[in-house]
Chain A
């Protein structure tokens, strides 16, 4: 699915532990327009649960989550 998603902005959050990935994505999402997509790449395993929790609370949509060997890539659509 992810091959079809075009990211409007890429956020490299590799190597950052809690709470930085969430703090940075909450800043980053404001830098794209509504309905645009952010690609965020993390290495923090906690972000697997944290990103969906953050997205639900703030009303954004995670379009796809891809787990690589060392990284997790999220495609997040800014909804509001």
Chain B
């Protein structure tokens, strides 16, 4: 009898451990790629997850940061390397190219006109919609620094926050789904 009680107590202790580990209904995603097709996939999954009742966190790093540049903002007085990066990298979501079949821009242009014809939301529209739906966007501070991007040249997105890897991991640890795109 005493044994049984002991076993029950042990089980109870284990169960409370499980409770603490219960994940929240959240999706965390790293958007590393700066390709149009992958970015679209990221935002379709992100906005879809909100519709499915999930909290969504998107963490933009490396080439992914380029889609959050505002096309009508620029910063003066950058050093030459940052200037070069700024000129060579896509300035905002509308400047991204397909990862495949870009064909010097012809493929991307064709895909965009196809998307319009088929009523598929553009990346700009997807980002705006994500903002309305409350998708949380975090941007990697180190990538910003490497590329020479400054916060004042990024899009106006509600609650956009600059952070490091720890913030992403904190969100990812208790997420049901984690993705890397």
- Give chain A's interface residues, CB within 8 Å of chain B: 15-20, 22-23, 25-26, 53-54, 57-58
| Cβ-defined contact, A57 with B118, below 8 A | no
Closest to A22 in B: B51
A23 surroundings in chain B (CB, below 8 A):
47-48, 50-51, 129, 133
B53 within 8 A of A: yes
The answer on a CB contact under 8 Å between B52 and A57 is yes
Complex Cα distance A22/B48, Å?
7
Q: Is the CB of A17 within 8 A of B52?
A: no
State how many angstroms separate the Cβ of B21 from the closest Cβ of chain A.
21
Closest to B48 in A: A19
Instruction: Report 21 cross-chain contacts, Cβ distance below 8 Å, ordered by A residue.
Output: A16-B119, A17-B119, A18-B44, A18-B48, A19-B44, A19-B47, A19-B48, A19-B51, A20-B121, A22-B52, A23-B47, A23-B129, A23-B133, A26-B50, A26-B52, A26-B53, A53-B52, A54-B52, A57-B52, A57-B53, A58-B52
Q: Which residues does chain B contribute within 8 Å of A54, judged by CB atoms? A: 51-52
**Chain A residues with CB below 8 A from B44, complex form:** 18-19
The chain B residue sitting closest to A23, CB to CB, is: B51
B43 to chain A: closest residue by CB? A19
Q: How far is the CA of A75 from the CA of B145 in the complex (A)?
A: 51
Among residues of A, the one whose C-beta sits closest to the C-beta of B133 is A23
Tell me how far the C-beta of B49 lies from the nearest C-beta in chain A, rounded to whole angstroms. Answer: 9
Question: What 8 pairs between A and B have smallest CB-CB spacing?
Answer: A26-B51, A19-B48, A22-B51, A23-B51, A19-B44, A58-B53, A57-B52, A17-B120
CA distance A68 to B178 in the complex (A): 38
Q: A22-B48, A23-B133 provided; 17 other pairs, C-beta below 8 A?
A: A15-B119, A17-B118, A17-B119, A18-B48, A19-B44, A19-B47, A20-B121, A22-B52, A23-B47, A23-B48, A26-B50, A26-B52, A53-B52, A54-B51, A54-B52, A57-B53, A58-B53
Q: Which residues of B sit under 8 angstroms from A20, Cβ to Cβ? A: 121
**B120's closest neighbor in chain A, by CB?**
A17
The winner among B47, B48, B51, B120 for most chain A CB atoms within 10 A is B51
- Which residue of chain B has the shortest Cβ distance to A21 in the bound complex? B51
